[in-house]
């Protein structure tokens, strides 16, 4: 069973003057889950380095020196993770409320509002804050306002705030906690904005300032990342274990049409705008691309940062080029790899096909529970109308099939491969059926031993005559006990002579003295030559060195 998904390509106002229709055949059985996992795991995700400016998309190399543990994330798996995470979450909420710092008393008061920390002591809280400080999660700052005596100054009352690494980790934990509560959508408006931004890229690069160009670049990357993330998350919901169970449930039938229509609409828009975006990316000149990268690097470097460690120009350039290559390979095929959007359309079409197939199977399972009482009653009436038992047997064979069936499997060549030939018109084939028993042994036909002395003598005389002819032929080529292959270049040589020549050469080359013995008992020496000669045999030409054979003894021996 196949499902055909069609969508119109861009109109003549967008790309060309000939609207075309794109059809995709979707097989009944597919492995879209494995392909999608490759997309999610990054197997087909584009990577790049600086050399991509020349049109290549190389793979990004890992910085092994940075692949170490992250101390700021240690509080997530520590034995007291519940206390540490609660402290970090309170500080994070305060930071989001623009209250950058909190004292230990404020933190203790906030924690004691919960039953789990109602009995929490100040000493335990200070130990936890010291551990978080050692991990680099919080930054302590002495509070001078609460110091009234020398003893209070020596004890040092601190106010704490989250570090930048800790803020990013807390945002990650919040994202993980709300991953399944926040739904994702497939919006075509992102494609429209990306297409609009790339269509005017030349004017943006040449006319806008560095600040406006940086803002345009950030909006473009934000739209692209949202498009990729939303699509991956939405499709992942179908590939997960819960999604598979839901697709195989009866409740899926109520929403089948809505899902299929929703996915088809997105695929239609993706097919339409992906071609326009691809054309906009391809027609971008290398000079414009070089100017874009240079100005983006300058704009990023001009932004004032509060951190002490500023990013190097090389890292900024790599990040910008990587983001560009990710956008480029999502819509454009490069280096023999198809664009990611083509994979996305294929996966979505396969999901639609699976939805249709699952719906058909579920409907068939529901129909199997329908009572066949009326069908059985009709069969009973037909059997009651049979006058003889033979008629009943015929009706039974027609309604229920043959009762006793023997199946034979064989492999043989057919007379014809034509599908229009009727089996009744072909000649019948006969097969010997052997019993499947251990005691069975086929009969062996006995026959006498025939004498073949006459045939052997005839074959012997023929072989001797052939050897005599070959010897006479070889002798005719020997002149003054020498056989030079250069003298045979103008002759038509029988093919049997080639066998002897090559055999002699092989025997001489295996001997250090370069000598050998022919089949006719003549000893010879092989002389090499740097020249080449072409020998014309009956069945073809042979190019080989112009060897010379020197035979010992008389010529007529």
Query: Is the pLDDT reported for residue 381 higher than 80?
Result: yes
Neighbouring CB atoms inside 10 A of 158's CB total 18
Q: Which residue is associated with the tokens 């080029």?
A: 321
Encoded tokens for 242: 């819960």
**451: three-class secondary structure by DSSP:** coil
Every domain of the chain and the residues it spans:
3-66+183-303+312-361, 71-176, 475-551
pLDDT at 30: 39
Map residue 338 onto helix, strand or coil. Answer: coil
State mean pLDDT over 367-377.
Answer: 70
Does residue 533 sit in helix, strand or coil?
A: strand
Q: Roughly what angle, to the nearest 10 degrees, separates helices 313-331 and 340-368? A: 50
pLDDT (mean) for 163-181 = 79
Question: Is residue 340 very low, low, confident or very high in pLDDT (cuts 50, 70, 90)?
Answer: confident
With 0-12 / 13-18 / 19 or more C-beta atoms within 10 angstroms meaning exposed / middle / buried, residue 102 is buried
Instruction: Please check the confidence at residue 67 and state whether its pLDDT lies above 60.
Output: yes
Residue 400 has pLDDT above 50, yes or no: yes
What would the two tokens of residue 392 be?
A: 């009943």
Name 278's Cβ contacts closer than 8 Å, sequence gap at least 6: 331, 332, 339
pLDDT tier for residue 27 given thresholds of 50, 70 and 90: very low
Helices and strands of the chain, counted as H and E runs: 18, 12
Show Cβ contacts of residue 398 under 8 Å, excluding neighbours closer than 6 positions: none
Q: What's the pLDDT tens digit per position in 251-291? A: 666 667 777 777 777 778 888 888 888 888 888 888 888 88
Distance between CA atoms of residues 495 and 493, nearest Å: 6
pLDDT at 366: 63
Read off the tokens for 82: 């519940």
- Round to whole Å and give the CA distance between 553 and 557: 7
Question: Which of 65-74, 415-424, 538-547 has the least mean pLDDT?
Answer: 415-424
Helix (H) or strand (E) holding 102: strand 102-103
Rounded CA separation 111/122 (Å):
11
Closest to 330 measured CA to CA, from 213, 231, 196, 183: 231
Q: Which residue has the higher pLDDT, 106 or 241?
A: 106
Sequence-distant contacts of 465-469: CB under 8 A, at least 24 apart: 467/519
Residue 20, pLDDT above cutoff 70? no
Which among 478, 481, 477, 485 is positioned nearest to 546, based on CA atoms? Answer: 485
Q: Of 8, 57, 85, which is closest to residue 337 (Cα–Cα)?
A: 57
Name which residue leads in pLDDT, 65 or 500: 500
Report the alpha-carbon distance of residue 204 to residue 324 in Å, rounded: 16
> Helix (H, G, I), strand (E, B), or coil: what is residue 166?
helix
Residue 298 pLDDT > 80: yes
d(CA 117, CA 108): 9
Spatial separation of the C-alpha atoms in residues 22 and 271, rounded to whole Å: 9
Half-sphere exposure of 525 (CA within 13 A, CB side): 7
Nearest Cα to 340, choosing from 61, 52, 50, 47?
A: 47
Decide: helix, strand or coil at residue 492.
strand
> Do 166 and 72 meet the contact criterion of CB atoms below 8 Å apart?
yes
Q: CATH assignment of 71-176?
A: 1.10.10.10
Question: Which residues neighbour 155 within 8 Å (Cβ) at sequence distance 6 or greater?
Answer: none
Query: How far, CA to CA in Å, does 273 sit from each of 164, 235, 248, 345, 469?
Result: 39, 20, 33, 13, 83
């Amino acid at each position: 069973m196949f499902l055909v998904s069609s969508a119109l390509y861009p109109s003549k106002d967008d790309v060309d003057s000939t609207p075309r229709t794109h059809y995709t055949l979707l097989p009944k059985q597919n492995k879209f889950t494995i392909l999608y996992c490759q997309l999610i795991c990054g197997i087909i995700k584009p990577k790049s380095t600086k050399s991509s400016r020349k049109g290549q998309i190389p793979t990004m190399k890992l910085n092994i020196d940075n692949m170490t543990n992250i101390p700021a994330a240690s509080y997530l798996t520590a034995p007291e993770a519940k206390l540490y995470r609660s402290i970090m979450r309170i500080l994070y909420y305060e930071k989001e409320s623009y209250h950058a710092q909190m004292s230990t008393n404020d933190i203790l008061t906030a924690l004691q509002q919960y039953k789990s920390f109602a009995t929490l002591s100040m000493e335990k809280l200070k130990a936890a804050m010291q551990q978080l400080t050692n991990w680099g999660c919080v930054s302590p700052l002495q509070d001078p306002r609460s110091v009234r005596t020398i003893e209070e100054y020596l004890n040092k009352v601190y106010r704490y705030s989250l570090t930048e690494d800790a803020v990013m980790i807390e945002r990650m934990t919040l994202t993980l906690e709300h991953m399944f509560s926040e739904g994702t959508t497939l919006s075509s408006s992102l494609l429209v904005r990306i297409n609009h931004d790339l269509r005017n890229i030349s004017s943006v690069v040449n006319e806008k300032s560095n600040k406006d160009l940086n803002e345009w670049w950030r909006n473009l990357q934000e739209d692209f990342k949202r498009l990729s993330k939303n699509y991956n998350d939405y499709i992942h919901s179908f590939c997960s274990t819960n999604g598979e169970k839901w697709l195989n449930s009866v409740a899926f039938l109520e929403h089948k049409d809505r899902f299929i229509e929703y996915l088809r609409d997105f695929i239609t828009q993706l097919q339409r705008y992906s071609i326009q975006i691809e054309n906009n990316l391809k027609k971008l000149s290398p000079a414009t691309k070089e100017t874009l990268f240079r100005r983006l690097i300058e704009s990023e470097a001009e932004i004032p940062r509060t951190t002490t460690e500023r990013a190097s120009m090389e890292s900024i350039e790599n990040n910008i080029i990587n983001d560009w290559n990710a956008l480029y390979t999502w819509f454009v095929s490069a280096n023999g790899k198809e664009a990611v959007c083509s994979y996305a359309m294929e996966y979505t079409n396969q999901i639609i096909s699976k939805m249709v197939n699952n719906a058909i199977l579920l409907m068939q399972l529901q129909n199997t529970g329908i009572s066949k009482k009326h069908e059985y009653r009709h069969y009973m009436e037909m059997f009651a109308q049979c006058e003889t038992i033979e008629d009943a047997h015929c009706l039974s064979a027609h309604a229920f099939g043959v009762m006793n069936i023997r199946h034979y499997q064989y492999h043989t060549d057919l007379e014809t491969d034509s599908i229009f030939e009727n089996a009744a018109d072909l000649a019948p084939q006969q097969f010997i059926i052997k019993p499947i028993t251990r005691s069975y042994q086929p009969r062996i036909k006995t026959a006498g031993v025939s004498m073949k002395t006459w045939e052997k003598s005839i074959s012997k005389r023929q072989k001797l005559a052939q050897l005599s002819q070959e010897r006479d032929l070889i002798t005719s080529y020997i002149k003054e006990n020498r056989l030079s292959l250069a003298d045979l270049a103008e002759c038509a040589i029988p093919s049997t002579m080639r066998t002897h020549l090559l055999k002699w050469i092989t025997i001489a080359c295996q001997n250090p003295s370069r000598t050998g013995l022919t089949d006719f008992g003549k000893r010879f020496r092989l002389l090499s030559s740097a020249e080449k000669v072409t020998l014309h045999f009956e069945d073809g030409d042979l190019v080989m060195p112009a060897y010379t054979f020197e035979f010992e003894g008389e010529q007529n021996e």
